[in-house]
């Protein structure tokens, strides 16, 4: 695939300086140079030390990609919320792993996207998963269609510039309408998978913001905004607050039929699209099992 820019500055600069400002990493440049890719200035091969001037056209030809290890396609249909040449946003069902693993090698969300790419006849691209959800959490997952798009969003993730909002049903009645939980999270030494609020050097700063939407019988429907992205962050913070997610048995909740998994759904993401110079905002309605529970 090709990515094109027109240099618009009045002052000339080196090609490598321009590419760095566009978020092109050294690793990606190495892939381009040594894997049949190209860097062109006005259609001619360019070097990193070359100077570019106003109105020059810079083209990055990114080589085709392949998985390092075979990922079998799954042809279970996916629900697409947004797609363009660079990004694919999918509505993940509950009980589907985000990525392949020894327990789920053939039908993770990545496997399903691989199958979708094959059906559509896409060539030379592989799914780059940008955001992941726990197997039992439903909602929006972002995929990048190539290395460069992935690098741009990965940078936004590290700087906490991708906005993610979740819908959750909490056990009990929250008395305030707004909470900010700014407490560090680390591994629970008694479990291979659990996390907990931990006041030690090994814990990482974690910030969660809760907005009460509705109080329904003995539960509270909330919108939850993540300001950091720690494993199980929402589940850990809500449990620590004393209001575990409905049916989240790992963190103190109890199964409440018909909901047989934690009541958590990624309902909105917003990120800056450098290709179109605009924000992309995608929403997802809560899953049917959560809706049935609320009814």
Query: Catalytic positions, please?
Result: 134
Angle, vertex CA 118, rays to CA 113 and CA 124, nearest 5: 90
Residues, the chain, total? 295
- Compute CA distances 59 → 1, 44, 52, 146, 206, whole Å: 10, 9, 12, 15, 40
d(CA 253, CA 247): 5
Judge contact between 7 and 53, C-beta under 8 A: yes
Can you name the residues that pair with 80 across neighbouring β-strands?
A: 90
- Residue 220's CB is within 10 A of a number of other CB atoms, namely 22
- Compute CA distances 66 → 61, 69, 175, whole Å: 16, 9, 52
Three-class SS state of 26: helix
Check residue 249 and report its DSSP letter. G
């Amino acid at each position: 695939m090709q990515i094109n820019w027109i240099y618009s500055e009045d002052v000339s600069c080196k090609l490598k300086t321009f590419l760095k400002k566009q978020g092109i990493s050294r690793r990606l440049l190495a892939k381009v140079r040594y894997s049949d890719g190209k860097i062109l200035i006005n259609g001619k091969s360019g070097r990193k030390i070359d100077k570019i001037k106003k109105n020059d056209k810079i083209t990055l030809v990114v080589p085709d990609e392949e998985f390092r290890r075979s990922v079998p396609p799954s042809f279970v249909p996916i629900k697409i919320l947004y797609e363009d040449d660079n990004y694919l946003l999918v509505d993940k069902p509950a009980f589907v792993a985000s990525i392949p693993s020894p327990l789920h090698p053939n039908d993770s969300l990545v496997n399903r996207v691989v199958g979708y790419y094959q059906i559509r006849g896409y060539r030379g691209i592989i799914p780059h998963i940008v955001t992941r959800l726990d197997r039992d959490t439903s909602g929006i997952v972002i995929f990048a269609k190539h290395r460069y798009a992935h690098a741009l969003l990965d940078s936004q993730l590290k700087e906490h510039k991708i906005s993610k909002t979740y819908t959750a049903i909490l056990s009990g009645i929250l008395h305030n309408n707004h909470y900010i939980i700014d407490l560090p999270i680390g591994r629970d030494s008694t479990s291979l998978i659990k996390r907990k609020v931990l006041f030690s050097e090994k814990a990482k700063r974690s910030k969660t913001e809760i907005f009460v939407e509705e109080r329904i019988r003995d539960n509270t429907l909330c919108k939850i905004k993540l300001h950091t992205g720690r494993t199980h962050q929402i589940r850990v913070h809500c449990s620590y607050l004393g209001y575990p997610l409905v049916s989240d048995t790992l963190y103190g909740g109890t199964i409440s039929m018909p909901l047989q998994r934690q009541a958590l759904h990624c309902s909105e993401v917003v990120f800056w699209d450098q290709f179109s110079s605009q924000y992309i905002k995608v929403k997802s309605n809560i899953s049917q099992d959560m809706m049935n529970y609320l009814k």
